[in-house]
Amino acid sequence: MGKAKSLGFSKDRLARIDRFLQDRYVGPGRLPCAQFLLARDGELVHQSVLGARDVERGTPLTEDTVFRIYSMTKPVTSVALMSLVEEGLIALDDPVAKHIPWWEGLGVYSAGLAPNFLTTPPSRPMQVVDLLRHTSGLTYGFQNRTNVDAAYRKLGVAEVHSAGDLDAMVADLAGLPLEFSPGEAWNYSVATDVCGYLVQAIAGKPLSQVLRERIFEPLKMTDTGFFVRDDQRDRFAACYNATPQGGLALQDDPRTSPFLKPPVLESGGGGLVSTAADYMRFSHMLLNGGELEGARILAPKTVRLMACNHLPGGADLTEMSRSLFSESTNAGVGFGLGFAVVFDPPKTLIPCSMGEFYWGGAASTAFWVDPVERVTAVLMTQVLPSSSYPIRRELRTLTYAALMETNDPRPGA
């Protein structure tokens, strides 16, 4: 951590991060633990390791703790799909029905309840890009918003510990209508699980094997996978629900968790476990334009394409989102191919950079990559839901309040 000053950060201001996390969240019992890694140009600037990975057993958090990263799986799956795009095996403007023929003619919800839905034809076919940017018309059962997501809940579509595999998930979705015509809105959904299905089908291998061969092994992400191995069990964190009183209730015991065995459905949208160090290596690869320590995962132009706003008409999430989620506003933020992208920093009302991209997981984990300041950051904790506290925005503010030497060309930045 002695490199803080040489990397443009104030050591005293970085110390605020630990105090803030401890005094605001870990000490009062709002979070069981917090691990925060901050790097610039691939060099570690600061690390916070606070609290307990298992409150009931009094086990302290350690740097190598294994966490459920839920939707931070999505950027990983998106990278795998883009590696197949680079090989010419699939294209972003391919109709999804080219690869899933039984989705041909999938209709848009008009009226009715399952199984007697009335539908209308979509204004255009769903494309692969719609899956990556969440404009497909698919949804999540947990949204609790429409008759369509109610049907998802009834069938258990894409639930992480589902009894059915990816083939069964895609078959179930063939019998359900879209919530809207592709491209008309943004809705957080099982679309990235469908991306995982496409990766598996095109590569001709299980999704776990594709991710291992194309991403985890080259990047030396030795603790990342779809379940907790026997040798990782002692490092696996407990997961908690936030209570209305501001406390914690055990949600998933690490000694009996379903994550301790291989899943039937390998969820490309939310099934991975990982460590802060592993995910930082993934983030460094993205910052470096698809390469880390000689391992080339994607080409620089592909990463740049992923980190552009792909929402139709250049809209932001406040204009297009139909999802009931997020602990923060999304003004000035669009969506790329696998993660959110900042394209109008002043509208966000927090310190950030043009082209910064990020995402998080249901248990309040998060990461961001800032290509202007060459900053990468990873937050790990285990509290559901992620909307419980505004910690992601707060950490950005604290981080950039400690950055004394900026690369931002904007006046006053």
Q: Are 376 and 283 in contact (CB under 8 A)?
A: yes
Q: What is the mean pLDDT of residues 309-313?
A: 96
Residues 166 and 308: their CA atoms lie apart, in Å, by 29
The amino acid at residue 228 is: V
According to the model, what pLDDT value does residue 327 have?
A: 44
Question: With 0-12 CB in 10 A as exposed, 13-18 as middle and 19+ as buried, what is 160?
Answer: buried
Q: What is the architecture, at CATH level 2, of domain 11-71+206-401?
A: 3-Layer(aba) Sandwich (3.40)
Q: Helix, strand, coil proportions of the chain in percent (round to 5)? A: 35, 20, 45
Report the candidate in 219, 189, 385, 376 with the shortest Cα–Cα distance to residue 297.
Answer: 219
Query: What are the helix (H) ranges across 216-372?
Result: 217-219, 276-287, 300-306, 317-320, 345-348
Q: How confident is the model at residue 158 (pLDDT cuts 50, 70, 90)?
A: confident
Q: Report CA-CA distances (Å) from 169 to 163, 264, 266, 300, 341.
A: 10, 11, 11, 33, 29
For the chain, residues classed under CATH 3.40.710.10 are 11-71+206-401, 79-203
For residue 149, pLDDT beyond 60: yes
Q: Which two tokens stand for residue 159?
A: 């639930």
Q: Report CA-CA distances (Å) from 137 to 81, 178, 390.
A: 19, 5, 28
According to the model, what pLDDT value does residue 144 have?
A: 81
Q: Output 398 or 413, whichever has higher pLDDT.
A: 398
Q: Are 9 and 40 in contact (CB under 8 A)?
A: yes
Is residue 67 classed as helix, strand or coil in its secondary structure?
A: strand
Tell me whether the omega of the peptide bond preceding residue 115 falls within 30 degrees of 0, making it cis. yes
For residue 408, pLDDT beyond 50: yes
DSSP label at residue 350: S
Reported as a single tens digit per residue, the pLDDT across 263-279 is: 999 999 999 999 999 99
Q: Are 337 and 352 in contact (CB under 8 A)?
A: no
Report the candidate in 278, 299, 277, 275 with the shortest Cα–Cα distance to residue 288.
Answer: 299
Fold of the domain spanning 79-203 = Beta-lactamase (3.40.710)
Reported as a single tens digit per residue, the pLDDT across 213-259 is: 999 999 999 999 999 999 999 999 999 999 999 999 999 999 999 99
Reported as a single tens digit per residue, the pLDDT across 355-383 is: 999 999 999 999 999 999 999 999 999 99
Is residue 327 classed as helix, strand or coil in its secondary structure?
A: coil
Query: Of the ranges 104-108, 109-113, 143-147, 183-187, which one carries the lowest mean pLDDT score?
Result: 143-147
Q: Are 107 and 121 in contact (CB under 8 A)?
A: yes
For residue 288, pLDDT beyond 50: yes
Q: CB 276: neighbour CB atoms within 10 A?
A: 24
According to the model, what pLDDT value does residue 330 have?
A: 87
For residue 406, pLDDT beyond 70: yes
Query: What are the helix (H) ranges across 64-212?
Result: 73-86, 96-99, 128-133, 147-155, 166-174, 191-203, 207-211
According to the model, what pLDDT value does residue 16 have?
A: 98
Q: How confident is the model at residue 413 (pLDDT cuts 50, 70, 90)?
A: low
Q: Are 15 and 47 in contact (CB under 8 A)?
A: no
Q: CB 13: neighbour CB atoms within 10 A?
A: 17
According to the model, what pLDDT value does residue 325 have?
A: 56
**What's the mean pLDDT when you consider all of the chain?**
95
According to the model, what pLDDT value does residue 170 have?
A: 97
Q: Report CA-CA distances (Å) from 325 to 108, 122, 189, 260, 398.
A: 22, 25, 11, 28, 24
Q: How confident is the model at residue 324 (pLDDT cuts 50, 70, 90)?
A: low
